[in-house]
Structure formats: C-alpha cells, structure tokens
Amino acid sequence: MHNSNRPVYFNEHVPKQIPHNDVAKNDVTDNHKLKQLARCCICFDNYSLNARAPICVPCGHSFCAVCIRKLIWGNLVCCCICRKVTFFGPTDLGKNIQLLG
C-alpha cells in the first residue's frame, strides 16, 4: 500500500532505459523474410509442390507455376521484377524446391 505521508515519484519505478532484445527483433525480421520467400510475389499464394510450384527463371527470381504461365509471350518469359527476357518455355525452367522449406 501507499504511504500517504511520502510523495510518490514515478521516476523511481520507471527504468532509465527500456531493455530490448536485438536477437528477438532479428528473429522476427528473419522469420518475416522467410515467409515472404515462401510465397509468390505476384499472387502472394504460398508455394506448393504442384500447381503453385516455385519456378526459377535464369535471372534468379522465382514465381509460382500459375503466374509464370501468365508471363509467357510465345517462347519468351519476362521477369516482372528485373524485366530480363528469357527464351524458354515454363516446362524448361526448373523448380526452386529450396523455397518450399
């Protein structure tokens, strides 16, 4: 209980510096980055082994198999991130299974 004869100073109870944990903050940031890598940057669906398999284009960017089909013009695939044109069909491009976790 509070003693009414003694004034209360809030600064007695408040730490001068709020402790923080950089490791936890980095873990959250890394976890967020991993979650972003595990989904297509066009449709934002999570990658899967079948219809939403991550397909890697030669520039190194990956998109799900559904979205990569929408990026085809004849025998050309244009990366929507860096705009590099690839002269392959979607079946010639490999799956990026590392993104499946």
What's the Cα-to-Cα distance from 82 to each of 22, 37, 41, 70, 86, rounded to whole Å? Answer: 33, 17, 13, 16, 11
3-state helix/strand/coil string of 12-79: HCCCCCCCCCHHHHHHHHHHHHHHHHCECCCCCCECCCCCCCEEECCCCCEEEHHHHHHCEECCEEEC
Task: With cut-offs at 50, 70 and 90, classify the pLDDT of residue 66.
Answer: very high
- The domains found in the chain, sorted by start residue, are 20-100 (3.30.40.10)
pTM for this one? 0.59
Read off the pLDDT of residues 29-41 as tens digits, 9 standing for 90 and up.
Answer: 555 555 667 899 9
